[in-house]
A and B are shown apart, each in its own frame.
Chain A
Amino acid sequence: MDLTGLPLLTGVIFTPLIGALLIAFVPREREALTRWLALGTALVTFAISLLLLPGFDPAATGFQYVETADWIPAFGIQYKLGLDGISLVLVVLTTTLSWISILASFGPIKSRLKEFMISFLILEVGMIGVFLALDLFLFYIFWEVVLVPMYLIIGIWGGANRIYATLKFVLYTLIGSLLMLVAILAAAFSFQAATGSWAGAFDFEQLRGFGFDPTLQFLAFGAFFLAFAIKVPMFPFHTWLPDAHVEAPTAGSVILAGVLLKLGGYGFIRFCLPLFPQAAHEWAPLIIVLSLIAIIYGAIVAMVQPDLKKLVAYSSVSHMGFVTLGIFIFQPQGMQGAILQMVNHGIITGALFLCVGVIYERTHDRTIAKMGGLAAPTPVYAAIFGFFMLASLGLPGLGGFVGEFLVFLGTFDYSPIAAAIASIVVILGAAYLMWMYQRVVFGELSDFLKGLGHHLTDVTPQELVTLTPLIALTLAFGVAPGLILDLIQMPVGEVLARVGGPLTGAAP
């Protein structure tokens, strides 16, 4: 089958949109149809994203499957898509988690199902678009497209304090992204001023070779940094995350942790470093320090969280610290580790949120103190939860380990002390996760859970369908991380060649 002629990237981006439009015309009462249509769309999208794999050449430099069309020629704005290994793995991650999330919301979403599915599919459009856009303007548009559905998902189907959480999420993200817009436009203008033409002024491939003026680099990097740092989220811009997670419905949390946070990391790698290499070197020490703080701080604060979702949220802050750390040491192992960590964090934390969702479905509670002894009535659940708990704490052989280790390794190369500080998290991570697991799963069945009686059932087959692929992926990426590393080797090399790593300077 020859797929080279087809606009696969456009296909993978807009298939969910078609599904969303179809769902819009489904009568409100036909809930089953809505559900299956949404799942079907997500699965088709997933299939299309898998079709990208056979034709992808990991050894090739530059972007593949590039599609270009003029959009607003007056400003040289193009509809330009393309992917390299980094985008590819993240796109497949997105399509995977999307269908899983949709399936996982079959039960929990009871009101306004149609709107939910439409929002979710549009969200998928935005996420995939961000990973594939090669035009800065287009990238920005997809970046914002992500915002609105997520705002609705948290705000409509969220918990008690959902409105506060969702407004916080949106406003926080907007502050960053709007300044990024200014920076994008400034960069494009600076290109235009130098070349005398708008042609290619938003084209990433043109811009990344263009040496921006140092002051502009510094400021524009700052704006991009703010946008991405809020999304990641980096300390101290992280406080929206626990609120958003706690209020979001399960599927929202899965996608939030699984994909949305990755948008920031991706943005750093794809845009910040190649576009503003000098500024990246100037900013890197600060970012490394913030990452180290995030890693340790997130873990310590996670320790005392009373709410399961908050705990996982703070653990995300800690885990995403590795991503930014790995990126900003400008070192091949570090950056590969960061990308691997993004993928694995997406899978594992997504799965952890699914696990929390399973409890929540049965108890309508997430307070750790009320739990206890789940191992006896729900052994399969306990095993799966335990599996992901171990994966999250970086058990070798499972997904989380290799990425974390590569980041440590890269960091050690740059600064052994930084690596030592960061690696304290292996203790803290084990501590908060195992303590949580002990309180929830071990011990005698708590009175609260006893009160539920026969409602406390083990995982349903449907829940098992959502969790099993994630188990398989966690194992696969732990045993054979080469599946991902081989894909990202070349693009990471390219990014680093542009940014001119490794980071030098007075590091202890």
Chain B
Amino acid sequence: MTVTTADNTARAKGLTALANPTRFLALVRFVIWPLALATALAFAVGLWMSFSVPDDYQQGRTVRIMFVHVPSVWMAMGAYIVMVSGALGVLVWRHPLADVAARSAAPFGAAFTFLGLVTGSLWGEPMWGTWWVWDARLTSFLVLLIIYLGLIALWSAIEEPARSARLAAIVVLVGAINIPIIKFSVDWFTTLHQTASVVRMDGPALAPEFLYPLLVMALAFLLLFVTLHLAAMRNEILRRQIRTLQRKAARSARGGAA
């Protein structure tokens, strides 16, 4: 079985060749270790660069938090995009792995959103003097976190993967339609209550020596997400196989149909 050297961003979702789980599991086993290596490498370089960069004259040392905050925020949104494409895969193309992809992306999406919130609040604290300020970005990420947790609860609440796939896909899409509305209302809400100093989360136009570490860290986060996502998809497929075997064992224990 010749596995084309799929580069790490070629998700299994789109390729119909990978529709059946067995070939997908083989691909994951083939790709997972090089990906893990690349992730570790990217993190090493990223961290080294972010610590060797001089202090930013405006925001003092805390700008280093940006190297962690901004990639988390990007990946939080990236995970939701993965879920939306998974949801479309389920509802439109009925791709068997689409739900597996969407379902395994959700926990990491929630983790990155949580990280975005924590690092954002840590970054702002010196300026604002409090741990939480109803700043537009932080607020919309808080709402995104609730949406993620709701989806994770929905996926685990419904026993049958076939049904939970389509129901979760509907909620993912309705959520996706809502995110711009929420973003718009939160921006309006926060600009109305003008806080003392609005911290510009994505920072002023970044001087190049800040941009490179940021991009490398972002790449590291992306590689990590891809690796974890593929591994989580593998776990999900194994979980479903276990479930099928258990039901088969239960049925044969009942003597089965005539």
- A, B co-complexed: no
B-binding residues in A (CB < 8 A): none
